[in-house]
A and B are shown apart, each in its own frame.
Chain A
Amino acid sequence: GEDVEQSLFLSVREGDSSVINCTYTDSSSTYLYWYKQEPGAGLQLLTYIFSNMDMKQDQRLTVLLNKKDKHLSLRIADTQTGDSAIYFCAESPNAGNNRKLIWGLGTSLAVNP
């Protein structure tokens, strides 16, 4: 079935690294995504990873993909108070070619000064 799981809460101190974990179920997903949602704002694509990669780095963000275990993680280096938000992991199964997104519940990241 379609199911994406994430831990619900993470609290870190400013300047520390944050690691948000996700497990997904559909191995057909070509891309996996991390979206950010801030209060009162729309969902914003933070980064994505192609399924044949195991790591992608983009400035302070590092995405790790373990396709065997269907595990995805997002590491934010030097976390800032402005990073406080809800982070959603999403997969896009290839079945039907409609590319709809299947989402986790979101991880609420609190960054303490």
Chain B
Amino acid sequence: DTGVSQDPRHKITKRGQNVTFRCDPISEHNRLYWYRQTLGQGPEFLTYFQNEAQLEKSRLLSDRFSAERPKGSFSTLEIQRTEQGDSAMYLCASTPLAGAYNEQFFGPGTRLTVL
């Protein structure tokens, strides 16, 4: 298994543009999480999927953000009309549904810079 992968690793965009990020979790991992990390901060929870169902969304996730996991495998996170405040590292993590201690396996992240 190659671990959690994320694409792209870096994205620079202009304010007002739309961006989409992709996360490929570890195979067979039912649970998938998106977090956002800004400089000097810990990760903040954004949203959670169990298989294809999005079961929780943080209040941080404004209506410009949407996430999907259509077949219960990979997930996408889209940000519409980006703002400079969206600049951050977007992290994806996965874990099996019945994991013994819920270790979340993290991808390398997508660093978004909004100019």
Contacts and interface: CB of A to CB of B under 8 A. Distances in A.
Contacts of B72: none
15 contacts: A41-B108, A42-B4, A88-B43, A92-B102, A96-B56, A98-B31, A98-B50, A99-B31, A101-B45, A103-B42, A103-B44, A105-B40, A105-B42, A106-B41, A106-B42
A13 interface: no
B95 interface: yes
Contacts, number: 56
Interface of A: 4, 31, 33, 41-45, 48, 50, 88, 90, 92, 96, 98-106
Interface in B24-56: 31, 33, 35, 40-45, 48, 50, 55-56
Contacts of A92: 102
B43 A43 contact: yes
B104 interface: yes
Taking each of A4, A50, A103, A104, which has the highest tally of chain B beta carbons within 10 Å of its own beta carbon? A103
Contact of A105 (B41, B105, B106, B109): B41
Nearest to B40: A105
A42 B103 contact: no
